Structure 1
Amino acid sequence: MCLFYDMHTGKWWWAAQKAMEKETPGATIIPIVIFSNKTQVTLFRNKAAYSVYLTIGNLPKDIRSKPSQGRQVILAYLPTTKLEHIKSKAARRQTQANLFHACLRMILASLESVGLEGCAMMSGDGVSQRVHPIFAAYVGDYSEQVLVTCVKSGDCVICTQPRNELGDLGPKYLMRDINAVLDVLRKVDTLSDAEYAHACSSVGIKPVYQPFWEQLPYSDVYSAIISDILHQLLQGVIKYLVAWVKAAYSKDEINARCHCLPPNHNVWSFFKGITKLSRLTEREHTDICQILLGLVIGMRLPGGMSSVRLVKAVRALLDFVYLAQYPVHSTATLNALKEAL
């Protein structure tokens, strides 16, 4: 049985280590984890900040994930301009994408040479080692994942599954081919704009000029996109699960059930219900998860229809969310995740 808990227990690290050992034996990998978040800082005048942070995979995740430990460093603030002087919406979106990648390419430019050649760095035990910082992961919500991978909004940022089949649990689709994408990107100076746009469309990306990850060694941006609890589970799965429950039942009935739940020391009481809540935080999503199954059990659907299938779906998705948050995974828990899905 395999156990997965920190970054070095996964398969990517050792695959990258083997590839690097063929070129430069004795290398030590430092996985670079980038995460960004565009945040609204005021409720008036529409002011926003677009910050980019960095951490490394060599740190244990229970230390790396705690802001109080100071294990993340801020790299830069990206431009938040809306480029309103560009009247065409399509041209404006393409320019914003190019601006994003140009900024990150400047910020991460040093990773190109040190990723291949390495640099000397002192470890905690006082030993000097040749380390190779490698871009390994990017954390962000779906809109930022689309921006980073250059795919079209609505498509999967990892595999080639068509957008109209994303909800189907059919045969697995292949991962996006980074080599085919790189071959197209290298032709940007030899093709006309129309030909370049057509070539990019053939490999499933938008015509972006020099993405920041194009020259980064040993990196595959499509395997670097990872899911996180906040964006993909709570603001993704749970947000839409609550929306489905609201669509199935009367909002007044749901709120009445919230009001009738007995007080508990470990469960937040939503005395005014959950249907009118907006701009929910991670904590509020988590609190709703604790009561959602209790709200739907025993409540008949409109027209007297049985709610057995709805209750099973709610329970299975909640099982998936809670199983995904295990601090340590094994082959058994991963199989349980598949069964819940």
Structure 2
Amino acid sequence: MWTADWWWDTQKKLPIGLTIAAIILSTDKTHLSTFRGDKKAWPVYLTIGNIDKDKRHKPTAHATVLIGYLPVAKLDNYTEILAPIVEAGKDGVDVVCADSFIRRVFPLLAAYVADFPEQCLVACCKESYCPKCLVTPEKRGLFVKSLLHDEEHTKVILEHKVSG
């Protein structure tokens, strides 16, 4: 991930000696119990882009950690789980690196990995629609121009959902 332009453009904004930790979050809805009802939740996993992807993708490397569970019915808990990361991203955190030096690191959300149904949920669109643009379901996969989802429209949908 450190070969991406985003990484270097962001790194240039920091003073010399400071660095970013590119946070990669992923979720995947799972069944928690089949004995007492049909309980489901989204486990939230975290890894960092500073780790080589070949190592990051190996389960034996333990490069991905579970940071919490989101109940299916309460996705607003995401802000609670991410609050410490957001705070650390503002001021940075002193971290002992692999070379034993202490560096000020700024964790920043770089990527969110989710399967298609979860992408649609986050984008506030139906599963048959594209989570990125406004193309209609029957035109998905065709080379047609389409507008991207509007952040303000998504906020309106979320506020409407909260207010009932």
Aligned match of 2:141 in 167, 171, 175?
167
Structure 1 unaligned runs (5+)? 1-6, 81-95, 185-199, 210-341
1:150/1:206 contact within 8 Å kept: no
Identity rate of aligned residues, in percent? 36
Alignment of 1:52 onto 2:44: yes
Preserved CA contact (<8 Å) 2:44 2:70: yes
Give a deviation string over 1:106-145, Cα, whole Å, max 9, x none. 0101222321221211111112111110011111111111
1:239-254 map, 5 Å = none
CA contact (8 A) 2:28 2:42 kept: yes
How many residues are treated as equivalent by the alignment? 157
Match of 1:66 among 51, 58, 62: 58
Residues 15 and 151 of structure 1: CA distance in aligned 2, closer, same or farther (over 3 Å)? farther
Matched, 1:25 2:20: no
Question: Aligned-pair RMSD on alpha carbons?
Answer: 2.5
- Take 1:150 and 1:115, find their aligned partners in 2: how far apart are those partners? 26
TM-score (norm 2): 0.79
Matches within 5 A, 1:186-205: 200=153
Structure 1 residue 49: Cα displacement:
4.4
Which residue, out of 117, 135, 150, partners 2:91? 117
Show structure 2 runs of 5+ residues with no match.
160-164
Q: Residues 205, 164 of structure 1: CA spacing in aligned structure 2 closer, same or farther, 3 A cutoff?
A: farther
| Contact persistence 1:150–1:205 (CA under 8 A) | no
More strand by share: 2
Aligned residue for 2:86, secondary structure, equals helix
**2:8 counterpart of 1:14:** yes
* TM-score, length of structure 1 as denominator length: 0.41
Which has the higher Rg, Structure 1 or Structure 2?
1
- Which of structures 1 and 2 has the larger relative contact order (alpha carbons within 8 angstroms, sep 6+)? 2
Match of 2:79 among 84, 93, 105: 105
Q: 1:162 to 1:11 in 2, by over 3 A?
A: farther
The aligned amino acid for 2:157 is: P
List structure 1 segments (4+ residues) > 6 angstroms apart after TM superposition.
none
